[in-house]
Chains A and B, each alone.
Chain A
């Protein structure tokens, strides 16, 4: 320290030194508990406006910066209060009332109240904004009404019942009605501090974040998050190995094994995820394919037999190196509430598949399966080019079906051509693709199961259900959507799952496991199967 030259100033100097010391002590403590977390975004974020979010990178930033009324706990899959202390959905499913927390401010200091919620909802539902998040709320024509009951209470009424209304608010980051910083004023744990297009997004902790840990310490622990924009997964892995980034959110099974071989404590297999790999036959009546093939594809017995002849265990074990589970039905067993536990795993049995086919008039001649008119059973299976897992699955399915005399021609197509065939021309026989499931609730799959829907992939936009079982699915899906009773809904959706397994319009193959990597320096991480797998509990992560 400097020598006391002038006694008169000593006290002052001491006082200054002390305050500097205290300040640096506080900073030290913060540094110890906080630090900077680094990971990669796989694409450029398209927007920082939470209402316009559509792409994965923007979803990630919204998760880290946006404050929401309710949040679905990614681990327990239960909806939890956030900015709303409590909420209530009306019986008709049209109205939701929130009781808000008080004394909360946005990152720029603007106080938060029911007005902000009303403003956000109005913006969200503004038809001119075309908010993708808002689409989930648009269940019928008419305007949404917001009623501010008090600064901490608000009710929102939609013109028609919205399926799973409360859960939908997990995606709605509240905007400030008054802040001059517009959408850059946030209620979440972090705020965007710097953005270098093509390179990095830097997030800093929100000094006004409302949440505290059990010890009463303000969250989040981290000081900042550096998001590097890096589309190349090889580079991402390499940077992780070098210690330049701390997390990898979804790892390839091949990389998982490579990384795990060297340092098993860094990789996490959280078990089967919601994502499924599936194949289906073209059942579109106007599809430009041979009519005898259409007859096969529209036969449930044929579809079931094909399903039975595919060795799902081998697909999981070999293609995904054990980091996948044979799929049981349309809902992954990872979906704790909605999965129909009565469904049994699909059995692999080429013999019974062949028997079933023979009872349908098919016969095996010199190793080639023929239908009753003598047509050799042969179909093309298309998948997207460049996805080695799907290419390998296709090669294995080809080999499996060879055993029951079915010839499969594997065709890999670029994605746009595949989508064109799948949705426009219907010029295909069978497709092998994956389906990424984000939501847990069956309402989010309405567009897949309703026979009138565009995404009813095996036969989209049916004017009226073409089969009895499709009609039944339509009816059950509508019934569950219009009910607010979770038990009744579950019952209906369980039935849907049983029908889908029985009729096999989609032949579900495997559910990939959620694989991630977390650096040893990251504390508090506990990866889960739901996105964002590694940083869902971002508030309680720290790096040292």
Chain B
């Protein structure tokens, strides 16, 4: 299970997290995320997936959670960063897309305001610069950047549009790592497929790595280069998508496979994968 640090590694973690006196949520989890790869993190609810995501973003509640180990990214241990330094990374180097787009967008703010806020967090410039950035971000997720659209409140959009807005916000500053926490679980199957395709395209065109967190092995299989299986706070299996899906080593992985619904999934052809690899 152990991986040795190697070149091309974006982020290397060795992490245990505990809430109060309760047993560890994550127990000595060791994962490397390589530049430009899409790493799937699969596990059932409560396995510690979201905790891992929050730990990487430094958003664990510091009063309640205690994290041990290290998360090394570009030579710096994120766990030892001060809040101010961490804030400079969030949204710029590390970005997050949450599960439910409708609750992840602020219901009281117009789309334009939210995008501008995301831009302003790490950039300064004229309103024109800002508008330009917003337009580019929206185009990258194939959304219109018309005034009409920008004036909308989240409640006036479809779920798929909302999710794209969220992704646009996340990729605005071209992060090195995008963490998608159950980012497609709340979507219907068609929208899910569209969003997955979008992720893959963004991965290819910008070269950002994606940590794709899901409970759904099937959707993960369609997009990821590698898959890690998280079970009761530990990584029980880690390998290329092919390895994991075809020759699962761990008992738990086999159970997950067995539970996979047998419905057609948008498969990404091996050819596309090689193209993605070439992009790196």
> In the complex, A touching B, CB below 8 Å?
no
Give A contacts to B, CB under 8 Å.
none
